[in-house]
Amino acid sequence: MTAPATAHGLLSGLDEIAEIGRDTRRGGYSRHLWQPADLELRDWFAERAVRLGLDVEIDRNGNTWAWWGPRGDDAIVVGSHLDSVPGGGAYDGPLGVVSTLDAIARLQASGFRPTRPCAVLVFAEEEGSRFGIACLGSRLMTGALDADQARALIDPEGISLAAAASAVGIDPAGLGEDPAALARIGLFVELHVEQGRGLIDLDSPVAVASSILAHGRWRITFTGEGNHAGATRMADRRDPMLAAARSMLGVRDAAVASSGSRATIGRIEAVPGGTNVISSQVAVWLDARAAEDAAARDLVTEIEARVAEAAAAEGCTAVVAEESWSGAVAFDPALRDRLVRSLDGVPTLPTGAGHDAGVLSSRRPTAMIFVRNPTGVSHSPEEFATLDDCLAGVDALERVLRELL
Ligand code: GLV
Ligand code: MN
Ligand code: MN
């Protein structure tokens, strides 16, 4: 496994956490909610924040806040997340957290004092890698995810979110919409590594976000007949693995036919999962995205039709169930323009990736700053940002905070 490259020197936080949660199979990192790597990262963050004189608290939904100065409503809140996808890169999430801490350290060193409340906010389970729903912490805080539905979510080991919360000292009864936490957020800014080729093509180290694609996740369950791999003639089979395989090509074709849309099957689970066993059931998870809500919905309707056709062709049945949905986001234009102005006219950039800043945008003004990713690859160990570009990101945050605070 090659070590994921991190920036050095001023962004020492990335180096400090470089050994936490390494994924030995894929490379990169697997850091999932309330599992040992995530807990270690939370401790690291709290210790780092305390060193800067910040006051750390964990809210009812497991999001971590670090206050610079007195706590209060209508604060300038800046942050990101520390969890990862399976085998993710070093920058998605952590770059925003370490850059925020560095920007505050620089402001402190220059003698700057905020004139309104300010907090760093680290959201829980942004990637949805353990319980399946992305931006879990921000969805719970805003009430976008029902608390009962959240408590009942099950991880791949069969542990409920309620039980997992209890195990780390969070009262499951307290999960859910948190108006007090929301009131504390006057506006939210998230710095994030860019996840495609956007900034390579714009030839700029940083940009301000303009919009996020509509996106969602669906579980597709194919049911057939479990049977013996040797004793069952090919003509006698109802194999849900084949229904899934045919469907996957349909997913790709439907997305290609819908300009600008994206659809991915990144996860598959066969029951019971034996080499000499025809599966009885196969589940796949669909991630579908498009620029507009209606286009994403239409894409999924088209995929449902192709899935039904594929299942029927293999003598199987299929059920498509929505697990999460996020409408398209257009970031607050006034805040976006203010950031662009304070950053001397950097470009604006849409993104296909989901973010807590997107979820929060329905309730509070939010903005994002992207840092160039020269590989154009993300959710992979190949995700990268050069030290110079990371430092340009910290400069940008420092300037923005100086103006907002
Ligand atoms: C999160 O990074 C997502 O876009 O799924
Ligand atoms: Mn991500
Ligand atoms: Mn992220």
Distances (CA, A) of 35 to 113, 167, 356: 36, 10, 20
Ligand 1, atom 5, residue with closest C-alpha: 354
| Average of per-residue pLDDT values in the chain | 96
Residues in the chain: 405
CB distance 248 to 241 below 8 Å: no
Q: Which residues pair with 77 in a beta bridge?
A: 119, 188
CB distance 307 to 250 below 8 Å: yes
Model confidence band, residue 10 (pLDDT cutoffs 50, 70, 90): low
pLDDT at position 272 over 70: yes
pLDDT value, residue 120: 98
- How many CA atoms, within 13 angstroms, populate the side-chain half-sphere of residue 189? 29
DSSP 160: B
Mutate to test the pocket of ligand 1, among 379, 380, 383 (most ligand atoms within 8 A of CB): 379
pLDDT value, residue 11: 79
Model confidence band, residue 262 (pLDDT cutoffs 50, 70, 90): very high
Average pLDDT over residues 226-230: 98
Pocket around ligand 1: residues whose beta carbon is below 6 Å from it?
A: 127, 134, 353-354
Q: Is the dihedral of CA 124, 104, 208, 189 positive or negative?
A: positive
Average pLDDT over residues 56-82: 98
Which ligand has the nearest atom to the CA of 94? 3
pLDDT value, residue 312: 98
Residue with tokens 């469907």: 247
pLDDT digits (tens, 9 = 90+) for 345-372: 999 999 999 999 999 999 999 999 999 9
| Rounded to 5°, angle at Cα 65 from 63 and 68 | 170
Which amino acid, 297? R
pLDDT digits (tens, 9 = 90+) for 147-189: 999 999 999 999 999 999 999 999 999 999 999 999 999 999 9
Rg (CA), the chain: 22
Mutate to test the pocket of ligand 1, among 85, 135, 356 (most ligand atoms within 8 A of CB): 85
Predicted model pTM:
0.95
Pairing relationship of beta strands 55-58 and 64-68 according to DSSP bridges: antiparallel
Q: How many Cβ atoms sit within 10 Å of the Cβ of residue 24?
A: 8
List phi, psi (to 5°) of 118: -145, 135
**100, two tokens:** 């925020």
Nearest to 371 by CA among 357, 389, 345, 394: 389
- State the Cα torsion 292-143-83-366 to the nearest 10°: 60
